[in-house]
A and B are shown apart, each in its own frame.
Chain A
Amino acid sequence: MLDRLQFLLGEAFIALRRNGWMTFAAISTVAISLFLIGGLGFTYVKLAEETAAMTGKFELRVMLKDGTTTAQISKAAADIRAIKGVKEVSWIPRDKAWKRYQDSLPKHDNFAEIDNPYPDSFKVILSDLSLTDSVIDQIKAQSSVDDIQYLKDGQQFISQVQAVVKWLATALGGLLFITAGILIYNAIRLTIISRRLEIRIMQLVGASFLTVRIPFYIEGIVQGFLGGFVGSLILIACRAVLAERVRLMMGWQVPPIPFGMMCLLCLFGAAYGLLCSMVAVRAPLRYR
């Protein structure tokens, strides 16, 4: 058993050595693609978590029409509370809003000459930022609502960043991932060509299907695994470089790359390498 394992591993590593540059190309492409997919995926998830944590900070100010009665205000508050994506609704009476404004400008003393310009309003806190547009539409449909003010830019910025990250991970990561698969496939095919004599000898003497194929499977697994491992290392390096800058610029703490995620990238790479090698050996290793 040990002899057999030694033989199969030996054959696989001869193959890896013989196609050094092609192996390097395959590993580095897997590494970059998994770095992009893993890194951007991680960024996306963390951004979503950050956004979810921030939703409480995003609030809408709903201005009510002049002359809205207390009964209408109560009904509107109840209706808004029932909207999906709304966490909290609190009524701000126009007098209270005016008083608050006056308090914020203590140096001015001629407020007595001015009529209260504030309408009655609601402070609405959202529970899900992604539902902002839908919540706004539903609130606007209320007959007592005059206008809505909200920090549209802030919400849109985060939403756009998420979209870009998602797009980059899907498009660039996906494209490179497919390229990596093709490179692994080609590396295996080249190995098959460079080892055609050994393969022929194995087939002449009746070596089993698996004996002939396993070295190529191992080659694919090693390439994918190393790609995942190098991708993880790049991810750690990038995090080390960017974490402090992100903290200073945006005030966000970038968490360390979880060990489980690194293992996942390596395993994913290995599984992908195996799949590509299985496809690559199908036709050329037929027993003919």
Chain B
Amino acid sequence: MDDPYIKYEDVEVRYTELVYGLSHIKLDIQRGEFVFFVGSTGAGKSTLLKLLTLEARATSGAVRFAGRDITRLPDRQAPALRREMGIVPQDFALLPRKRVWENVAYAMRAVGNTKREIRQRVPQILEQVRIGHRADAFPHELSGGEQQRVAIARALINNPQLLLADEPTGNLDPDHSWEIMELLRELNVKGATVLVASHDVMVVERMGKRIVRLDQGKVASDSAKEAPNA
């Protein structure tokens, strides 16, 4: 079997002597997988994603991504690492005074794309997430689902092989939640590894993908394994 694309090696995130974010997490995720991290608030599902984006650091253990140990990667290398992944935040993080296409264009300009590249790629990306028809709308004119599509579109600007979505359906009704999950599934089918932190158990189970349940910072169960590892 190939080396896992993402590997959490006995990872511990400790805030104080007694307070743990994560405790002895051992997880392997293969390239092209679609994995849900589920659990109640404070279970550690977002922290698992943040370890990959370097927003959080492991107190002990190691996190490997694409064959590299990123546990103690210096902060200055975080931008390059993040350009290898697409991050979809729960709150969409859209610029309210910019139109849909401008929101995507702004992010592309920030990572150094030229205006020509932006003109070429923005329509493609918007079509990819099926929001092209609302390209000239402002965020407040969009539904929650549409706003989340824009956030996903922005996460795709670097052609990432890994998509991280933190509660992408947290602010959406069930119909829109399902739309977003379908979109993430499409991106996964096209080759992206997708990691989603969610507490939306109904939607997660309906997707039929790998589910890692977290409880108080520990892996309580992993649908990819017969027995829990904690």
Contacts and interface: CB of A to CB of B under 8 A. Distances in A.
A-side interface mostly: helix
Contact of A287 (B75, B83, B87, B110): B75
A211 B55 contact: no
B79 interface: yes
A4 B87 CA distance: 23
Interface in A266-283: none
Contacts of A197: 93, 95
B154 interface: yes
A48 B139 CA distance: 65
Interface in B80-102: 80-84, 87, 89, 93, 95
A200 B93 contact: yes
Contact of B93 (A7, A204, A209): A204
A198 B102 CA distance: 12
Interface in A234-288: 286-288
Contacts, number: 68
A197 B97 CA distance: 12
Nearest to B109: A7
Contacts of B72: none
Nearest to A4: B112
A104 interface: no
Interface residues of A, number: 19
Contacts of A204: 82, 87, 89, 93, 107, 154-155
A207 B229 CA distance: 37
Nearest to B103: A201
Contacts of B80: 206
B78 interface: yes
Contact of A205 (B54, B75, B82): B82
Contacts of B20: none
B110 A7 contact: yes
Given A3-B115, A201-B106, A201-B107, A206 B95 contact: no
Given A198-B95, A201-B95, A287-B79, A206 B54 contact: no
Interface residues of B, number: 27
B54 to A, nearest CB: 7
Interface string A196-224: 01101111111111010000000000000
Contact of A3 (B81, B93, B107, B109): B109
A202 B154 CA distance: 11
B161 interface: no
A201 B154 contact: yes
Given A4-B112, A7-B110, A206 B79 contact: yes
A216 to B, nearest CB: 14
B19 interface: no
B110 A207 contact: yes
A3 B114 contact: yes
A242 B83 CA distance: 61
A205 B154 CA distance: 8
Interface in A152-194: none
Given A201-B107, A288-B55, A206 B82 contact: yes
Given A3-B114, A198-B95, A201-B93, A207 B79 contact: yes
A85 to B, nearest CB: 59
Contacts of A287: 54, 75-76, 78-79
B96 to A, nearest CB: 8
Contacts of A207: 79, 110-112
A7 B115 CA distance: 10
Contacts of A202: 107, 110
A201 B54 contact: no
Interface of A: 3-4, 7, 197-198, 200-209, 211, 286-288
28 contacts: A7-B109, A7-B110, A197-B95, A201-B95, A202-B110, A203-B79, A203-B82, A204-B89, A204-B93, A204-B154, A205-B87, A205-B107, A206-B78, A206-B80, A206-B111, A207-B79, A207-B112, A208-B112, A209-B76, A209-B79, A211-B110, A211-B111, A286-B75, A287-B54, A287-B76, A287-B78, A288-B54, A288-B75
Interchain residue pairs A-B with the least CB separation, the first 5: A206-B82, A206-B83, A207-B110, A287-B78, A202-B110
Given A3-B115, A208-B112, 11 more contacts: A4-B112, A197-B93, A204-B82, A204-B107, A205-B87, A205-B110, A206-B78, A206-B81, A206-B84, A286-B75, A288-B55
